[in-house]
């Protein structure tokens, strides 16, 4: 499936209209329900296959952010053969009490994997937390960049945002004549 067809499939599967408040606090009348494309196994696999070439060659661990980044990183791991870590917003106070579950990130080159980026706030927070644990992070990869400041905010923190698609790519299918 080419990138235009993939963008149209994501749009058809995930696009919603109404009034929505994003994590960033922005109110929007257009929303992409990421859980709709993440819960479709065929579409998710096509997304991961298309994302695999965007993974920097020196990456040692893929780190998916809770909650939407988890299915994406799992599918991407299958296509790259790289191990993954599942990153919580906060370390849980019981069990292992770890912030990052799965593969250890200490002294490893880690790529942050997220589903949708708006302002980049969760990537910034999680990157700081993972760097504290000893991870080396200079890139993040997302399915959709909403093009609302995330790329620029991450660049200020020395993080390059790679995106499979942008908000510009996600549009209604063109009617056939």
Residues annotated as binding site for 5-phospho-alpha-D-ribose 1-diphosphate?
A: 23, 88-89, 92, 114-122
Cα–Cα distance, 25 to 20 (Å, whole number):
10
Q: Given the DSSP bridges, would you call strands 109-117 and 61-65 parallel, antiparallel or unpaired? A: parallel
Point out the annotated binding site.
23, 88-89, 92, 114-122, 146
Whether the upstream peptide bond of residue 67 has omega within 30° of 0, thus cis, is: yes
Residue recorded with tokens 């980044």 = 69
The DSSP code sequence of 14-39 is HEEEEEEE-TTS-EEEEEE-HHHHHT
HSE value, Cβ hemisphere, 13 Å, CA-based, for 35: 2
User: Residues annotated in the binding site for orotate, as ranges?
Assistant: 118, 146
């Amino acid at each position: 499936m080419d990138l235009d067809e993939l963008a149209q499939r994501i749009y058809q599967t995930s696009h919603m209209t109404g009034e929505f408040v994003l994590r960033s606090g922005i109110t929007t009348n257009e929303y992409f329900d990421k859980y709709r494309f993440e819960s479709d196994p065929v579409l998710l696999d096509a997304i991961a296959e298309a994302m695999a070439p965007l993974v920097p060659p020196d990456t040692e661990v893929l780190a998916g952010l809770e909650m939407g980044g988890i299915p994406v990183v799992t599918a991407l791991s299958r296509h790259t053969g790289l191990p993954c870590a599942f990153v919580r917003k906060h370390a849980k106070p019981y069990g292992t009490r770890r912030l990052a579950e799965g593969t250890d990130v200490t002294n490893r080159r880690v790529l942050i994997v997220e589903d949708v980026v708006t302002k980049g706030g969760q990537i910034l927070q999680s990157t700081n937390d993972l760097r504290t644990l000893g991870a080396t992070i200079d890139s993040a990869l997302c399915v959709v960049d909403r093009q609302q400041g995330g790329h620029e905010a991450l660049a200020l923190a020395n993080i390059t945002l790679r995106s499979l698609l942008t908000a510009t790519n996600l549009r209604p299918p063109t009617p056939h004549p």
